[in-house]
Amino acid sequence: MPSIFSYQSAEVDWCEGNFERSTVIAEYYNTISNVSFFVLSPALLYLNRQYRQQRALPMYIVSGLLFCVGIFSTYFHMTLSYVGQLLDELSILWTLAVAYSFWYPRIYFPRSFLSGLLQRLSGVTTVISTLMSFIKPAFNAYVLNCIAFHLLYLTWRELKKCNDKRVHRMAAVMVLWWVLAISSWISDRWLCGLWQAINFPYFHSFWHVLIAMSLLYCCPLVIYFDVSYEMPSFKPKLEYWPSDSWPVVVPYVALEEPHKQC
C-alpha cells in the first residue's frame, strides 16, 4: 500500500498529463499557475493598507491563509499525493471559515444571536468538515465550490442597498472572473477527454489564475461593506490601482478621514 505522502497517491488526477515537462513536477502548469496566489496576498495587504491599519487581524490572517492555499496547491499538483490533496482542500476550507467569522455582516444575524456565536459555529462546522474530508476528500472540492453561491447571494443583497456605481461595476467584474474560473474547473473535470484529444488539457491551471483574479475583486468588495457596517467613523471609497485612466486596473478600498467628534 503506497504512503499517503507518495507521488500520485491522491484520489484526484487532473487532466494535464503527468511528468511531461519535469521528472519532479507531476502537473507542471497546474503547479506553476499557483504563483497567482503568491501575488494575490501581498497585493491585498499593500493596496488596502488603510483598512489593514484599522483591522490588522483579519487582513493578516486571511491574506496569510490565501498564501498557504498557494503553497499547498503547489505541493499537491507537484506530487499528486494524498496528503497534498488534503492540505489543498483544507486550506481553502479554513480560509473560507475564517473569512466568514471575521466579515459576515451582523445585520444578517438573528436577533437572538449571541456575541461570538458565529465564530464558534464556524469553528465547529469547519472541524466537522475537516474530519469528513478525510473520509471522501474528492467530494470536498464540489462542496467548497458550492459555497460561492452563498457568497453571490450575499453580494446581491448588499448591492440592492448600495448606490455606488463603482461598487456595482466591481461586483460585476468579480462575477465575470468567477464564471470564467468555475467554467475552467468544470471543463477540466468533466470534459478532459475532449481537451486531451486536441492536446490542450490546461484548464485547471486557468482556474488557479482566474479564481485569484476573482478574489482580487471579491476581497475589496467585502472590505467595502465591512467598513460600511463596522467602522462608522470612516467612509469607504473604491479606488483603482495604478489609476482610473488605465485600461487594466486593480480595485482597492481607501478610507476617508474620520469625522471629527464633538
Residue 258 has a pLDDT of: 61
**Binding-site entries for Ca(2+):** 13-14, 16, 18, 27
Annotated binding site for Zn(2+): 77, 204, 208
CA-closest candidate to residue 92, choices 67, 123, 121: 67
Share of the chain above pLDDT 70, in %: 85
Residue 4 lies in a domain: no
Domain membership flag for residue 202: yes
Domain extent at residue 176: 28-256
The H-assigned helical ranges of 104-256 are 117-135, 137-159, 165-190, 192-197, 203-230
* Helix-then-strand count for the chain, H and E: 10, 2
pLDDT in tens, 93-142: 889 989 988 998 888 776 655 555 655 666 666 666 666 666 666 667 77
The answer to whether 176 touches 3, Cβ cutoff 8 Å, is: no
Is 11 inside any structural domain? Answer: no
In a domain, 185, yes or no: yes
Averages of pLDDT over runs of 10 residues in the chain (262 residues) are: 84 94 96 98 97 96 97 98 92 90 82 57 64 65 79 93 94 96 96 96 97 97 95 93 87 81 45
Q: Which three cell numbers stand for residue 33?
A: 499557475
Binding positions are 13-14, 16, 18, 27, 77, 204, 208
Please write the tens of the pLDDT for every residue from 26-35. 999 999 999 9
Which distant-in-sequence residues (6+ apart) come within 8 Å of 214 by Cβ? 174, 177, 178, 181
Tell me how many domains the chain contains.
Answer: 1
> Whole-model pTM?
0.89
Q: Tell me how far apart the alpha carbons of residues 109 and 75 are, in angstroms, rounded to a whole number.
A: 38
Let me know if residue 232 belongs to a domain: yes
Asked if residue 17 is part of any domain, the answer here is: no
Instruction: Give the residues across from 238 on adjacent strands.
Output: 253
Q: Give the CATH number for residue 149.
A: 1.20.1070
Q: 116 in a domain, yes or no? A: yes
Residue with cell 492555499: 69
Domain assignment present for residue 87? The answer is yes
